[in-house]
Structure 1
């Protein structure tokens, strides 16, 4: 009888070594990324510290601005078709006879909230000629998050419809949308074209797009897109990562977030540090879960056909000449489909044009509101 062969170990050893090897690789990769992120954060923190010295300096025109809650006459919760509870605030007109003028409804953009229209709200409230409606989009500001699935721009159009049904049951309406808010208006027009020319009598589109957003970069250069990954995941795969882990990374990278907000949200080389902080705070309050759930719908946004519904109403298109997220070409594409619209390019301004160049935006917005009223 031949001697018994010792049991083979190769398979069991490889079975153990495989996971160990992968774990080691992941650990090494994580360490490398951690060191790189720490180095970037340190470098950007130095520059940010230098910039923030000017926050309370006389050169910052908004150093004393209190970007908090603004006065309103009514606040309510409207439940959208997908079950999201939307926070809504209403400012009533002050002047006699103003009730005959259209109600203005403001729709903010991605990773922001109703504070986006801070300066427009201030000025229009002071004028007292229009009824004003502001709301936080699903998953943003004080509105609730989606309980399951991904967000969809089509669903945002229905959310806008729910707000209009609840707050403006009759009378004329002017819709003002920034970035994803403009896309929301397009989705609403696609779903309810009969409103335009009858109920909706004017539309303002700020820093927005009717076409496909760059999936890889969302308008950011590749290097910046990689650098922002800890606090704004730009790839669909980010949704599979642990939310708490990403949130910790985003908080740890807040210096980098501030600097990149300044770089890619604003066009001026030296914008108001107080404004940059205001925008960064709106962004940081938007959860990573919400951001990742919106990515797919932003990637696939294509509503050029929906623009035909806007042909029956006056349209004002505003964009900053240094908008890296929705460049001037996107607004020009809208004008090609709506040749009767008015296009205003605001020099030296970035994506948050209504904050960065509020005076210039208001100087164009208010005459437009008067004409369509």
Structure 2
């Protein structure tokens, strides 16, 4: 039986950004919101790199950096912490539709690193789409992994094949065979602003949908956590959701996993995750190789970092132990 998650209040999006936060402008002109915490804290203006280790947190699809609040508390005494909102999410600016892709978020992550962590060892932590962004970075910038990126924490994520089975998988296969996928995606993006206009946030149906897709067993899904995750996900407008949807149909990053095999990695997978099933986590760890440790959380769903934060926090702290031990040996 899991322990009750701690009561958590997410910082609101309205109002001014937190003190010490900064903006990183990408090469295509999108402003990304970045926040800092940890022993050398603020670090906003120039990216303070005095801490011996920096952990950069990448949030999941339709969430924002606040989803890492419990992990922020758990590890803030161990390293300098960097959190960023992916394009179109949270306080970051909207993205042009053609650039709402995992490949682009991997490029964004590289530019965040270049701007605010220009030197020193880095551990990357990614949940769901955030983990996919890390894999895209490994494909695009393999030279970073080993010399600069010295560890990775992959939480409830996948290297590809998310839409291959079940009713949705069969439907997508038929749509592809009929060469109608571009029309389907265009229609989805066309109707998204209309759906947003008439959207009802906080509805009972929204809670049921959140409970069904983001949580595991009955013990995993207390009403407070379900409502919190519902509120978090419903902050993201439908046009952003529709823009990124296509990238998950084509997401394929298995070729990047040998790059991650150069460094210590922890993969956390949840047995009742309906979005990135546990089999995907097992395959990730197997393909990364001996440097990967797999943590399987029984009964948990996709929001495992909020509902089983004790397990997730411990796994992240143990990864930092492994990374620091390796740095001592190398130094």
* TM-score, normalised by the number of residues in structure 2: 0.83
Question: Which sits farther off after the overlay, 359-368 or 170-179?
Answer: 359-368
Residue 101 of structure 1 and its aligned partner are, at CA, apart by: 2.7
1:329 matched residue in structure 2? 279
Residue 67 of structure 1 and its aligned partner are, at CA, apart by: 2.0
2:133 matched residue in structure 1? 184
Asked if 1:359 is matched to 2:305, the reply is: no
Residue 339 of structure 1 and its aligned partner are, at CA, apart by: 2.2
Q: Is the 8 A contact 1:82 1:155 kept in 2?
A: no
2:24 matched residue in structure 1? 78
Distance across 1 between alignment mates of 2:193 and 2:79: 43
2:8 matched residue in structure 1? 65
Matches within 5 A, 1:1-373: 62=6, 65-68=8-11, 74-93=20-39, 99-125=50-76, 128-214=77-163, 236=185, 238-251=187-200, 254-270=203-219, 271-340=221-290, 341-373=292-324
Match of 1:117, SS state, is helix
Residue 252 of structure 1 and its aligned partner are, at CA, apart by: 6.9
1:226 matched residue in structure 2? none
Distance across 2 between alignment mates of 1:192 and 1:134: 20
2:44 matched residue in structure 1? none
Q: Is the 8 A contact 1:73 1:91 kept in 2?
A: no
Distance across 2 between alignment mates of 1:69 and 1:93: 24
* TM-score, normalised by the number of residues in structure 1: 0.74
Is the radius of gyration larger for structure 1 or structure 2? 1
Distance across 2 between alignment mates of 1:108 and 1:299: 19
Q: Is the 8 A contact 2:53 2:122 kept in 1?
A: yes
Distance across 1 between alignment mates of 2:123 and 2:202: 39
Distance across 1 between alignment mates of 2:62 and 2:306: 15
Q: Is the 8 A contact 1:322 1:350 kept in 2?
A: yes
2:329 matched residue in structure 1? none
Distance across 2 between alignment mates of 1:218 and 1:109: 24
Match of 1:202, SS state, is strand
**CA separation of 1:282/1:65 partners in 2, compared to 1, >3 Å: closer, same or farther?**
closer
Residue 215 of structure 1 and its aligned partner are, at CA, apart by: 6.5
Q: Is the 8 A contact 2:159 2:280 kept in 1?
A: yes
Match of 2:269, SS state, is strand
Runs of 4 or more consecutive aligned structure 1 residues displaced over 3 Å after TM superposition: 59-62, 69-73, 215-222, 240-244
Match of 1:74, SS state, is coil
Q: Is the 8 A contact 2:202 2:230 kept in 1?
A: no
Superposed CA RMSD in Å reads 2.7
**CA separation of 1:260/1:102 partners in 2, compared to 1, >3 Å: closer, same or farther?**
same
Unaligned runs of 5+ in 1: 1-58, 223-234
